[in-house]
C-alpha cells in the first residue's frame, strides 16, 4: 500500500499506527524515512540486519537467517555501505545478492528475508516514509523486490507514504508496478 497526500495530512501518523498494530501480531516491523541524497541500499541495510538477527534467534529460522545475513554482508560490501561505523572493505564470498546491481540484488535479499520469516512463522513489514525522495533507480529496485516476494507469496509487506506525484513515479519506474499497490 502507498499512502498519498499533501504535507501535514497524517501520512506519517498512519504509517506509525500501521506499524504499531502490525507489531501486536507476529510481524517484525522496520520503519525508514527516505532523505534526499540517501541511497536505498544504505537506508535498508540496518533494518534488514535487525530483522535477520531477530530471525536468527528463532530455532526454525536460524539456518535461513544466517544464510541471509551472509547475503546481506555481500550486499553491504558491493554497495559500499558503512556498517556500524566501519566500512566493509573485505572481498565477500560469492552467493546471493552479489551482482552489484540493486535491481537484481534487492529482490534476492527480500526473498531470503521472506523465507526466514516464513520459517519463523512471522512476517516482515517495511514502512517507508517520504518515498518521493527516492531516486528512480532505487524506486525501481524496490518495486522489483516487492514484486518478487509477492510472486513467491512470502510474508513480506510494504506500506509507503509520499506526495501525490508518487503514483506517476510508480508507473514510470515499472510499468506493472501500479498493480502492486493500493493508493489511498
Ramachandran category for residue 65: left, alpha or beta (phi over 0 → left; psi -120 to 50 → alpha): alpha
Q: Which residue has the cell 566493509?
A: 88
User: Which residues make beta-bridge pairs with 123?
Assistant: 27
Question: For residues 25 and 29, what is the distance between their CA atoms, to the nearest angstrom?
Answer: 10
pLDDT for 87 = 38
- What is the arithmetic mean of pLDDT over 139-160? 95
Name the pTM for this structure: 0.81
Summarised one tens digit per residue, pLDDT across range 31-48 is 999 998 889 999 999 999
% pLDDT > 70, the chain: 78
Kindly give, in sequence order, each residue whose CB lies less than 8 Å from that of residue 47, ignoring residues fewer than 6 positions away: 30, 31, 32, 126
Please compute Rg for the chain using Cα positions: 16
Instruction: For Cα atoms 156, 118, 111, give the angle at the middle one, nearest 5 degrees.
Output: 50
Q: Count Cβ neighbours within 10 Å for each residue of 17-56 and write b for 16 or more, e otherwise.
A: ebbeebeeeebbbbbbebeeebbbbebbbebbbebbebbb
The Cα diameter of the chain in Å comes to 46
CATH 3.40.50 assigned to domain 2-180? The reply is yes
- Has residue 8 got a pLDDT over 70? yes
- Has residue 57 got a pLDDT over 80? yes
Amino acid at each position: 500500500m502507498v499512502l498519498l497526500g499533501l504535507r501535514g495530512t497524517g501520512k506519517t501518523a498512519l504509517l506509525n499506527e500501521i506499524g504499531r498494530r502490525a507489531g501486536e501480531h507476529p510481524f517484525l516491523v522496520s520503519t525508514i524515512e527516505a532523505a534526499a541524497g540517501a541511497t536505498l541500499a544504505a537506508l535498508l541495510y540496518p533494518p534488514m540486519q535487525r530483522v535477520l538477527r531477530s530471525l536468527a534467534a528463532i530455532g526454525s529460522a536460524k539456518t535461513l537467517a544466517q544464510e541471509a545475513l551472509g547475503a546481506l554482508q555481500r550486499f553491504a560490501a558491493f554497495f559500499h555501505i558503512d556498517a556500524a561505523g566501519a566500512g566493509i572493505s573485505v572481498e565477500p564470498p560469492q552467493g546471493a545478492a552479489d551482482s552489484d546491481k540493486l535491481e537484481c540484488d534487492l529482490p534476492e535479499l527480500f526473498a531470503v528475508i521472506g523465507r526466514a520469516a516464513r520459517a519463523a512463522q512471522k512476517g516482515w513489514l517495511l514502512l517507508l516514509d517520504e518515498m518521493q525522495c527516492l531516486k528512480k533507480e532505487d524506486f525501481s529496485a524496490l518495486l522489483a523486490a516487492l514484486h518478487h516476494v509477492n510472486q513467491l507469496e512470502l510474508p513480506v509487506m510494504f506500506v509507503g507514504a509520499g506526495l501525490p506525484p508518487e503514483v506517476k513515479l510508480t508507473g514510470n519506474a515499472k510499468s506493472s508496478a501500479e498493480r502492486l499497490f493500493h493508493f489511498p
